[in-house]
């Protein structure tokens, strides 16, 4: 039956080890990983000779069916997940937006949006205001609903932005319930000022987007969030790290031993901002996202930081709008819905750009596209590994096969693609999700409703040692005071 699969003769890659082995799957679970597995003939056999057999990608950062900036993303859970599976991603974590500030109502709305999922998924929760109800709901979501991360927007003044006092409350609350605090790090007040400046100068096109929110504002907010997290003594996850300015702050904090995670996204690693100056609005506007795609140089520096471990994992921030939606900002860049695609392209582009170029190994690739995400969100080794007992989310990648990206052939509903025309090598030929072959021979065979909601438990490894360091700090406060000046003479 199709629930039994043997993958023969491939190079099986995990985050710390690779080996030539077969992988045997039964009823959605990996049963064995070893050379020369023998099975009966009711088993579907896939030949992976000369190919890499790796954990399916986990995208820590997507926005499907999200209402945002006066419209709704063109990809919902159906089209977004189809795109993901065709590109070798077998799990994604999407951001729930509260309903009128109500977290549980937001969660229930996203339960409905995702009911027919064809791949596994989890949720982060956005925090956009603060009161007793929010604080109570955070605990309910952690204890009963499988959410272990909360995102605070330091940008989008007037809608999603939170002020420092709210961020502090949120950090304390996250710490007490073992949840990971995430930040969108741009200084929203300064962005607002920068936007006003551009409009006054008559710069209303997409280039105004980049000019109004330069890297220094991302560096400032990243530094501020990191310092407040250190003050509270709780781990911090910085989403969509787009600039050297932000990355430098993360590097400095990590060097001092602080638990800070940095997530660059594919667009920030690979693209640069020259597109925003394209005279064709349809082209320029598709590159508008926040924080903005940066000038040449930032992307390569972020790639280097990923390869040296300063940054830990790669997301997409997949948040797609078609060209008619982007045209809402035809006369004013502030009204262009923010977001780019990437869910289908991430696994391919990171392989080609970083493994194909020799910057990182295949094991590093697995770590930054899958394993580290599973560890951070506390679902490893169920996810993020090819081990006996892990979920059967597996890709087979042919390093010699090439592709060309185009909106004409992609699975997103968007009529544009920010990687239009890009060619690369190293193609995901087979995707297995939950033990089902869902992508093979360029064909999708998805089953709506077969995807599972993955509950993510609190107190990940990032919380190890926090209690102890708090206790040490408290006892240092109670230590006898030195009276060096009075007693010296």
CB 227 within 8 A of CB 203: no
Q: Which of 338, 369, 416, 417 touches ligand URP by CB under 6 A?
A: 338
CB of 348 to Zn ion, least distance (A): 20
> Contacts with ligand URP: how many residues (CB under 6 A)?
9
Tokens 């579907």 map to which residue? 44
According to DSSP, the residues that pair with 127 across neighbouring strands are 152
Which is closer to Zn ion, CB of 151 or CB of 375?
151
- Is residue 298 at the binding interface for Zn ion, with CB under 5 A as the rule? no
Among 174, 319, 395, 432, binds ligand URP (CB under 6 A): 319
For 358-419, strand residue ranges (E) read 394-404
Q: Pick from 354, 283, 279: which is nearest to 313 by CA? A: 354
Cα–chain-centroid distance for residue 49? 31
Among residues 274, 300, 445, 452, which is the contact residue for Zn ion, using CB under 5 A? 274
CA 62 to chain centre: 7
Residue 339 sits in the site that holds ligand URP (CB under 6 A): yes
What pairs with residue 260 in β-bridges?
236
Q: Give, as one character, the DSSP assignment of residue 274.
A: G
Q: Write out the H or E segment, with its range, that includes residue 96.
A: strand 89-96
- Least separation in angstroms between residue 320's CB and ligand URP is 10
Interaction partner, residue 272 (Zn ion, ligand URP, none; CB < 5-8 Å by kind): Zn ion
Q: Which does 274 bind (CB under 5 to 8 A by kind): Zn ion, ligand URP, none?
A: Zn ion
The answer to whether 175 contacts ligand URP (rule: CB under 6 A) is no
Q: By C-beta, is 94 or 364 nearer to ligand URP?
A: 94
317 in contact with ligand URP (CB under 6 A): yes
Do 195 and 217 meet the contact criterion of CB atoms below 8 Å apart? no
| One residue of 108, 139, 248, 272 binding Zn ion per CB under 5 A | 272
Sorted by sequence, the CB contacts under 8 Å of residue 85 that are 6+ apart come out as 118, 119, 431, 433, 438, 439, 444, 446
372 binds ligand URP (CB under 6 A): no
DSSP at 145: S
314 part of the interface to ligand URP, by CB under 6 A: no
Does residue 342 belong to the site contacting ligand URP (CB under 6 A)?
no
Applying CB under 5 A, among 137, 220, 317, 345 the residue interacting with Zn ion is 317
Min separation Cβ 206 and Zn ion, Å: 14
**Contact region for Zn ion (CB under 5 A) — 166-174, 177-185, 221-229, 353-361?**
177-185
Q: Is residue 184 part of the contact set for Zn ion (CB under 5 A)?
A: yes
Give the nearest distance from C-beta 333 to ligand URP in angstroms.
Answer: 13
Conformational region of residue 421, where left means phi above 0, alpha means psi within -120 to 50, and beta covers everything else: left
Q: Using only C-alpha atoms, what is the Rg of the chain?
A: 23
| DSSP β-ladder status, 180-184 and 120-127 | unpaired
> In the window 236-255, what residues touch ligand URP (CB under 6 A)?
240
Q: Measured at CB, which residue is nearest to Zn ion?
A: 184
Closest CA to 171 of 237, 115, 222, 223: 237
Choose from Zn ion, ligand URP, none: what does 173 bind? Cβ within 5-8 Å by kind.
none
Q: At what angle do helices 215-232 and 188-200 cross, to 10 degrees?
A: 170
The yes or no reply on residue 128 touching ligand URP (CB under 6 A) is: no
264 vs 381 by CB, closer to Zn ion: 264
Binding to ligand URP (CB under 6 A) within 82-101 occurs at none
**Among 64, 134, 246, 289, which residue sits at the site for ligand URP (rule: CB under 6 A)?**
289
In the bound state with ligand URP, the residue whose beta carbon lies nearer, of 61 and 348, is 61
**Residue 338 binds which of Zn ion, ligand URP, none (CB < 5-8 A, kind-dependent):** ligand URP
Question: Contact 127/152 with Cβ under 8 angstroms?
Answer: yes
* Strand, coil or helix: 301: helix
Minimum distance, C-beta of residue 313 to ligand URP, in the bound complex (Å): 16
Token pair in block for residue 46: 């896939």
What does the CA dihedral 159, 161, 163, 168 come to, rounded to 10 degrees? 130
Contact 266, 344 (CB under 8 A): no
Indicate whether 63 belongs to the interface with ligand URP (CB under 6 A): yes
List residues near ligand URP by CB under 6 A: 63, 184, 240, 289-290, 317, 319, 338-339
């Amino acid at each position: 039956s199709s629930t039994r699969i043997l993958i023969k003769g491939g190079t099986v890659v995990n985050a710390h080890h690779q080996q030539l082995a077969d992988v045997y799957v039964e009823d959605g679970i990996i049963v064995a990983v070893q050379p020369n597995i023998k099975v009966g003939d009711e088993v579907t056999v896939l030949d992976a000779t000369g190919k890499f057999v790796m954990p399916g990608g986990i995208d820590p950062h997507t926005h499907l069916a999200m209402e945002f900036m006066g419209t709704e993303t063109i990809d919902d859970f159906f089209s977004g997940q189809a795109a993901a599976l065709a590109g070798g991603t077998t799990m994604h974590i999407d951001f729930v937006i509260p309903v009128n500030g109500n977290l549980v109502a937001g969660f229930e709305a996203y339960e409905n949006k995702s009911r027919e999922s064809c791949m596994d998924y989890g949720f982060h929760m956005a925090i956009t205001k603060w009161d007793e109800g929010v604080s109570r709901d955070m605990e309910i979501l952690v204890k009963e609903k499988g959410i272990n991360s909360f995102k605070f927007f330091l940008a989008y003044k007037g809608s999603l932005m939170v002020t420092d006092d709210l961020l502090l409350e949120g950090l304390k609350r996250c710490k007490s319930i073992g949840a990971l605090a995430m930040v969108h790090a741009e200084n929203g007040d300064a962005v607002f000022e920068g936007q006003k400046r551009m409009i006054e100068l008559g710069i209303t096109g997409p280039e105004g987007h980049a000019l109004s929110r330069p890297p220094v504002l991302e560096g400032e907010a990243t530094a501020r969030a990191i310092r407040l997290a250190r003050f509270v003594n709780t781990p911090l996850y910085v989403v969509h790290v787009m600039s050297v300015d932000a990355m430098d702050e993360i590097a400095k904090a990590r060097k001092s031993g602080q638990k800070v995670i940095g997530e660059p996204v594919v667009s920030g690693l690979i693209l640069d901002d020259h597109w925003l100056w394209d005279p064709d609005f349809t082209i320029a506007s598709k590159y508008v996202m926040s924080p903005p795609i940066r000038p040449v140089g930032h992307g390569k520096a972020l790639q280097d930081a990923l390869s040296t471990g300063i940054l830990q994992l790669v997301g997409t921030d997949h948040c797609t709008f078609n060209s008619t939606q982007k045209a809402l900002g035809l006369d004013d860049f502030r009204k262009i819905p923010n977001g780019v695609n990437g869910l289908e392209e991430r696994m391919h582009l990171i392989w080609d750009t970083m493994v194909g170029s020799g910057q990182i190994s295949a094991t590093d690739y697995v770590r930054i596209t899958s394993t580290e995400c599973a560890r951070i969100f506390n679902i490893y080794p169920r996810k993020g590994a090819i081990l006996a007992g892990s979920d059967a989310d597996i890709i087979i990648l042919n390093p010699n096969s090439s592709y060309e990206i185009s909106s004409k052939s992609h699975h997103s509903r968007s009529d544009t693609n920010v990687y239009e025309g890009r060619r690369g090598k190293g193609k995901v030929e087979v995707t297995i999700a939950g033990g089902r072959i869902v992508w093979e021979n360029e064909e999708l065979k998805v089953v709506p409703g077969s995807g599972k909601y993955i509950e993510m438990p609190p107190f990940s490894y990032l919380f190890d040692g926090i209690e102890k360091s708090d206790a040490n700090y408290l006892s240092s406060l109670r230590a006898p005071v030195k009276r060096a000046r009075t007693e010296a003479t």
